[in-house]
Amino acid sequence: MKLPVVNITGAAAGEVEIADTLLIRNGKGTQAVHDAVVAYRANQRSGSAKTKQMGEVAGSGKKPWRQKGTGRARAGSFQSPLWRGGAVVFGPQPRNYSIQLNKKVKSLAFRKALSERLLGGDVVVVDELVLTSHKTKDFAGIVAKLAPTAKTTLVVTDRLNDHLKRASRNLATVAVAPAASVNVYELLRFDKIVATRAALAVLEGRLQ
């Protein structure tokens, strides 16, 4: 499969080829992609939601009033869930939401996700992405030329530098990720993927 290469102004700058044997063109891997996305989102949860049980609510162990003779309902604790300021029944407790996937499933999901974006024409290959300043306005102008119709864009580079980090961090619709660690969720989340020629070589290596 051949992909056109452009420079930062959007002008043609050659082409690059990816071996067809590395791409998945059938329905294989769809479930793996789903599992990878579910696992990624689950692993982002902190699992720190917590409500107090009866042993944790502030209050004495004294019985509010005597058992009989007052005309009121029986009460044995100030920490009762029935009372204001008391405990919470069946409330959330800290837990681990993480999901583990084996290496074969992860690899298949990555191949399938990247193959779909490549075959769908959603990947723009830029010859190189060198910023001479850290200004957000300059970086936003480059992204607009490379992916003019995209509402959200993922920029994939072989390595991150200070200019790129500082120029991209204030753009809500643009994210920057190194090719060595970009994941399935990121590949699917954005409308367009802008990858440098060097980053594409790293991604191709991960397909193998």
User: Domains in the chain and their CATH numbers?
Assistant: 2-39+102-207 (3.40.1370.10), 46-96 (no CATH)
Residue pair 25/207 in contact (Cβ under 8 Å)? The answer is no
Tokens found for residue 26: 């059938």
Structure tokens at 65: 């009033």
Tokens 């993922």 sit on residue: 154
Q: Virtual CA dihedral for 41, 43, 48, 49, nearest 10 degrees?
A: 30
Q: What tens-digit pLDDT sequence spans the chain (208 residues)?
A: 899 999 988 888 888 999 889 999 988 999 999 999 999 999 999 999 999 999 999 988 899 999 999 999 999 999 999 999 999 999 999 999 999 999 999 999 999 999 999 999 999 999 988 888 899 999 999 999 999 999 999 999 998 888 899 999 999 999 999 999 999 999 999 999 999 999 999 999 999 8
CA distance 194 to 121: 11
Show the tokens assigned to 191.
């409308």
CA–CA–CA angle 91, 96, 98 (5° rounding): 135
